[in-house]
Amino acid sequence: MSGLIHVLNDAVANQIAAGEVIQRPASVVKELMENAVDAGATVITVVVKDAGKTLIQVVDNGQGMSEEDAGLCFHRHATSKISEAGDLFAIHTMGFRGEALASVAAVAEVILKTRRKEDELGTQVRVSGSKIQSQEVVSTPAGTNFQVKNLFFNLPARRKFLKSDQAELRHIINEFNHVALTNQEIECNLIHNDTDIFRLKPGNLRQRITGVFGKSVNAYLLPLKTETSVVRIGGYIGKPEHARKTYGEQFFFVNKRYIRHPYFHKAVMSAYAQILAPDHVPAYFIYFETDPERIDVNIHPSKTEVKFEEEKAIWQILLSSVKEAIGRNSLSPSLDFDKEGVIDIPVASKDREVRPPQIETNPDYNPFQEEQTYHRERITFPEKGYRSTYGQSERSGEDDRLEGWEKLFEPASAITSAGNKYLQIKNKYVLSPVKSGLMVIDQRRAHERILYDRMLAAAEKNSPVAQQTLFPETIRLNAEDYQVCLEMMEHLETLGFDIRDFGNQSIVVQGIPAEMTPGLIKEKLEWMIEQFKNLQEEPVTGEVERLARAAASAGAIGYGRPLTGTEIQELVDQLFACSNPNYSPSGKPVVKILELGELDKYFKA
Ligand code: ADP
Ligand code: MG
C-alpha cells in the first residue's frame, strides 16, 4: 500500500508555530473544504446541524485516502503536501501545516470514511479527543466523508463562548463563500438543519458570484483584467450606481485564498471617488495572482492578512484597472458585459519602477447625474409621528426639560426678528445665536440622538408605535445578511419594527418605528444590518441598545438635506428634550458653542 503521508520531522515541526486553528464551527468548515479542494474533488457538500455545534459534515468525491493514510491524517504535522524544511515556504504560502485535522480531532468526535477509486473497500476511523477509537474496513463511496460532532465537547468554556446559532451560521456561510468563490469549477452545496442554503453548480466566475449573491447581481458586474509582471488582477467590480450601504460583497483573493486588505480597499474606493453616493461601498470580487514568494501570509495567524512585496505598485495598478473598468462602462453603457478588456502593459523588471497602466477614462462621468434625487432626497422629516409615542402634549413635556438649556438661549425675539432664529448652512449644520455666542448643531447627529432616545424610551415602556409601510415590502437578502436580520428580529419588535421572516432568505417589512423617516425601506434595512454587524465588535452595549443605535443611524436625516424653519425648530426642541443632547448615541459631539470670546479674537487687530 503506497501511503502519501509522511510525518514531518521535529526540526520542521518546531519551525511551525502552533496556532489556534479551530476557533469556531466555521474554522472546521474552512479546513475540511480546503482539504476537499486539495484532494481534487468536483463536488463538495457541507451539512451542518445547529450551526455546526452538533454536526459538521463535509463530503467530497476527491482522491480519498489509503487505509494507512486514513489513520495517519489525524497526527500532528501529518501532511501529504510538504515533506521537508525546504518546502517551508509552501507552508507559509499555502498554509499546509498538517495541523488542521489533528486540531479538529483534539476538540471533537470525528468519524472519517474514505476510499480511493482504485480500492474496492474503504476505511472508517473514529477519533475522539485525539484518541483513535476504532479503525475498520467499510464500504463507502469513493472520496472522503468527515463527520465532526459535538465540537469542543471536552472544552466546556470554549463551547460556552460560541455565539448564537445565527451568528455561527453566518461565519460558516462566510467561510463557505470564500471557498465557493475561488473554486467555481467545483459544485458546492451547503445544507443547514435539512434546509438548502446553497446549491452551486459548476460554472464560470460570473455564474458563481450570482449563485452566491443572487441573480440580480449579474446586471451590475463589470469585468476587471490586468496583467503586469508584478501581479495579475482579475474578477469583477460592481457598477457605481449599485453600490450599497452594507459591506458584505467586497472580496480580495490572492492565489485563490481569501484575504482582507484595508489598504487595497482604499485603492478601490479612490477609483470610485466622486461617483458614489455618500456612505456607499461598491461590490467587488478581485482576484490577485502573484508569485507566492512575493507575499507573506505569516503576518496574521488566521492567514487572512497578507503582505505584498510591492504593495505600492500594486495599489497603483489596482486603482488604474478599477478606474478603467468603470470608465469602460460609462463610455459605452450598452456594452456587452462579457467583453473582457485586457490592458496592454509592458513587462517591468523587478528593480525598474512599475508604471501604472495609462487608461482613458471619462473624468466627468457621474452615474448620479440623471438621478440626483437618488440619495435620501425622498426622506421627509417626521412631523408628528412620535407624538403618539409620548402621548402627551409635546411642548409642555419639553418645556420642563428645556429649563437648563433655556438659560443658555436668549429668547429668539431678542436676537433677530421673529422666525430668523436659526440658520442652516451647507445643509449640514444648524446655527443659532445663544447668550454666550453661537451654537452649532450637527443636524444628522442631532436627529440620531433624538431617534435613539425615543426608540429606547418606547421600548422601555413597552409601547413602541409602528407606522405601517404603504405596501408591505419584501426584501431578499444575501445569505449572511439574512442571518443578521434573523438575529436582530427578536428585538426589532421592541423598537417598533414590524418585520417578518418570509423564508427563502427574504423578509417582509410591514412597519417601522413611528419616529423614523418613512420611505427607502430597503436602504434603511441594509444600513441597519451594516451598523448592527459593526457594533457587534463592541460588547459594551446590550442588544436593544445596539439595535436602537443601528436603527437611529438608519433612520436619521442625512447631511445635504435642506430643512424648513419648522423642521429646524422641531429638531432643536426635540434635541434639547433629550437626556444627553451633547453627544450622539455613538459618543460623537452634537452641539458646540462658539464662545463670544472666541469670536472676539477673530476681530482683534
Ligand atoms: P494539510 O491540509 O495541511 O496537509 P490537514 O491536517 O488538513 O493538513 O490534512 C492532513 C492530510 O490528510 C492531508 O495532507 C491529506 O493528505 C489528508 N486529507 C485530509 N483531508 C482529505 C480529503 N478530503 N481527501 C483526501 N485526503 C485528505
Ligand atoms: Mg488542510
pLDDT, tens digit, for every residue of 304-338?
888 898 999 999 999 999 999 998 887 544 433 33
| Ligand 1 binding pocket, CB closer than 6 Å | 4-5, 31, 35-36, 39, 60, 62-65, 73, 78-81, 96-102, 144
Cα atoms in the 13 Å half-sphere on the side-chain side of 371: 13
Q: Which residue has the higher pLDDT, 483 or 366?
A: 483
Residue 150: left if φ>0, alpha if ψ -120 to 50, beta else—which one?
Answer: left
Ligand 1: atom nearest CA of 4 is 16
Candidates 30, 31, 73: which one to mutate for ligand 1, based on the most atoms within 8 Å of Cβ?
73
pLDDT, tens digit, for every residue of 204-263?
999 999 999 988 889 899 999 999 999 999 999 999 888 887 788 999 999 999 999 999
> What is residue 299's predicted lDDT score, i.e. its pLDDT?
61
Q: Tell how far the Cα of 73 is from the centroid of ligand 1, in angstroms.
A: 6
Compute and round to an integer the Cα radius of gyration of the chain: 29
Confidence check: pLDDT of 409 > 80: no
Q: CATH number of the domain at 10-203, out of 3.20.20.80, 3.50.50.60, 3.20.10.10, 3.30.565.10?
A: 3.30.565.10
pLDDT, tens digit, for every residue of 430-473?
999 988 889 999 999 999 999 999 988 888 888 888 788 778 88
pLDDT band at 537 (very low <50, low <70, confident <90, very high): low
> What is residue 25's predicted lDDT score, i.e. its pLDDT?
96
**Share above pLDDT 90 across residues of the chain, in percent, rounded to a whole number:** 43
> What is residue 413's predicted lDDT score, i.e. its pLDDT?
35
C-alpha cell at 258: 481569501
In angstroms, what CA-CA distances link 124 with 67, 127, 207, 469?
9, 10, 36, 57
> What is residue 541's predicted lDDT score, i.e. its pLDDT?
65
Nearest bound ligand to CA 82? 1
> What is residue 385's predicted lDDT score, i.e. its pLDDT?
34
Q: Tell how far the Cα of 21 is from the centroid of ligand 1, in angstroms.
A: 14
> What is residue 22's predicted lDDT score, i.e. its pLDDT?
87
Ligand 1: atom nearest CA of 35 is 20
Cα(221)–Cα(600) distance, integer angstroms: 56
pLDDT, tens digit, for every residue of 48-90?
999 999 999 999 999 999 999 999 999 877 777 766 655 655 5
Confidence check: pLDDT of 398 > 80: no
CB 168 within 8 A of CB 162: yes
Look over the chain and give the mean of its residue pLDDT values, rounded to a whole number.
80
Show me where the domains of the chain are located.
10-203, 206-328, 440-592
Candidates 4, 35, 127: which one to mutate for ligand 1, based on the most atoms within 8 Å of Cβ?
35
Residue with cell 422641531: 570
Q: Tell how far the Cα of 207 is from the centroid of ligand 1, in angstroms.
A: 29
Look at residue 370 and give its three-state secondary structure.
helix
Confidence check: pLDDT of 362 > 60: no
* Nearest to 183, CA basis, from 114, 238, 90, 258: 258
pLDDT, tens digit, for every residue of 124-153?
999 998 889 999 999 999 999 999 999 999
Nearest bound ligand to CA 100? 1
- Helices marked H in 368-517: 387-390, 394-406, 412-415, 443-460, 479-492
In degrees rounded to 5, what are phi and psi of residue 132? -75, 120
pLDDT, tens digit, for every residue of 163-218?
889 889 999 999 999 999 999 999 999 999 999 999 999 999 999 999 999 888 89
Domain 206-328: give its CATH code. 3.30.230.10
Q: Which residue has the higher pLDDT, 445 or 5?
A: 445
> What is residue 558's predicted lDDT score, i.e. its pLDDT?
84
Q: Tell how far the Cα of 399 is from the centroid of ligand 1, in angstroms.
A: 71
Candidates 79, 130, 147, 186: which one to mutate for ligand 1, based on the most atoms within 8 Å of Cβ?
79
Angle at 208 between CA 224 and CA 303, to 5 degrees: 75
Q: Tell how far the Cα of 102 is from the centroid of ligand 2, in angstroms.
A: 10
Look up the CATH architecture of domain 440-592.
2-Layer Sandwich (3.30)
Q: Tell how far the Cα of 287 is from the centroid of ligand 1, in angstroms.
A: 25
Q: Tell how far the Cα of 80 is from the centroid of ligand 1, in angstroms.
A: 7
> What is residue 415's predicted lDDT score, i.e. its pLDDT?
38
